[in-house]
A and B are shown apart, each in its own frame.
Chain A
């Protein structure tokens, strides 16, 4: 199944800028893309990023074993937003390098724990987790009805010029 993630460059720049801000004790920041979705012919989905909701400073847990650990308030706020706005929520954090990023083992383990929880409030929406680098993206999409996440095959950054990641490019 083909999964495409689209985001306007100004929004992505805002996200990168926010994620690069230092935190009092967390080594990195996290947030959520607020998304809608559309089906693609013959089989696929395009996830359309609309906005970004950063996790508030006070909603991080002080856990030196990971770069950033969200507390229950952060998850609850994101769940509430998804429920009230019929939104797909895509968690995002950033690795401080250029080139195609990848999840660390911790990223993969933690995402698999909390992303499917969004189906408790919005079972019809795709949800997911992304990692951004300075100039690229990578991520997984949890699609309704599928137990395992799907790698996002294409990222399209809408700007001038357009940026395509994946799709053989």
Chain B
């Protein structure tokens, strides 16, 4: 074993090899995603696909790990900062940086072993989960929010593992039609959401913990569904009560054969489809 990883050797004799060959995809490289990039690089993940269409702005410097004032001045893309961060820790990592919306290059998601979603909207979470289910990829979602209450603010957040074949975010009650409809109705009106560094760090660390359990056999009791709720005021994390009520429930949101694979697969035999959807020969 490489000396660098000697102190995490308890994760299993093949953990270094597993991480080296793993392909991790991070969507959103802001407060949460930058923490993930850093931690996954430290773990020894060998292959990254990173998506973010934005460049760094001054308002990001309160939480974006790896970003500097010089990056703000030069409007450095967030994908470049993530790549620099990862390469600084693990020069051998292979990185596919995509400075676009993930929907514009979704073909790069397909061979990922896991997708981390660090996005703001519920509709985008739903889209990522749908894609992840379509290509049988575990999806780990993280997110935080700050709510104004009567006399104070409340920080909350969640980490969810949506596993193919298991409960999805709709089953868990995290996504529902009313929420998506309200978000669609308010589209563009929300403005900048409050964000701070430490809840992002907590949530990203929990996500990495779930990821490590998913990839290595270091624990005997492996959970297949995770829904952790973070209370930033009391600084506590707990499994959502909703899971207890869902024991034995089977997800029927992604159960059809139609929910798998390229929706346009094979259409090019009979007509034309965009190259990215066409099977290569």
B61 contacts partner chain A, Cβ-Cβ < 8 Å: no
**When the two chains form their complex, are residues B260 and A46 in contact, meaning their CB atoms are under 8 A apart?**
no
Question: Could you say which of A2-10, A57-65, A108-116 contacts chain B?
Answer: A2-10
In the complex, which residue of chain A has the Cβ closest to the Cβ of B260? A36
**When the two chains form their complex, are residues A4 and B111 in contact, meaning their CB atoms are under 8 A apart?**
yes
**When the two chains form their complex, are residues A160 and B222 in contact, meaning their CB atoms are under 8 A apart?**
yes
CA distance A168 to B281 in the complex (A): 24
Main secondary structure of the interface of B (DSSP, over half): loop
Q: How far is the CB of B110 from chain A (nearest CB, A)?
A: 5
A27 contacts partner chain B, Cβ-Cβ < 8 Å: no
Interface residues on A, range: 35 or more
In the complex, which residue of chain A has the Cβ closest to the Cβ of B279? A39
Q: How far is the CB of A139 from chain B (nearest CB, A)?
A: 17
A22 contacts partner chain B, Cβ-Cβ < 8 Å: no
For residue A4, which residues in chain B have a CB less than 8 angstroms away from its CB? 111
CA distance A36 to B257 in the complex (A): 7
CB-CB contacts of A30-74 with B at 8 A, as 1s and 0s?
000011111111011110101100000000000000000000000
CA distance A167 to B111 in the complex (A): 12
Query: In the complex where A38-B265, A46-B135, A48-B135 touch, is A160 in contact with B110 (Cβ < 8 A)?
Result: no
B110's contact among A11, A40, A125, by CB below 8 Å, is which? A40
Can you list 18 contacts pairing A with B, beta carbon distance less than 8 Å?
Answer: A8-B164, A8-B165, A36-B262, A36-B265, A39-B107, A41-B276, A46-B110, A48-B135, A124-B266, A143-B279, A156-B113, A159-B224, A160-B214, A161-B217, A161-B222, A162-B113, A162-B215, A169-B17
Closest 6 CB pairs of A and B: A124-B266, A36-B261, A160-B222, A36-B260, A145-B281, A8-B165
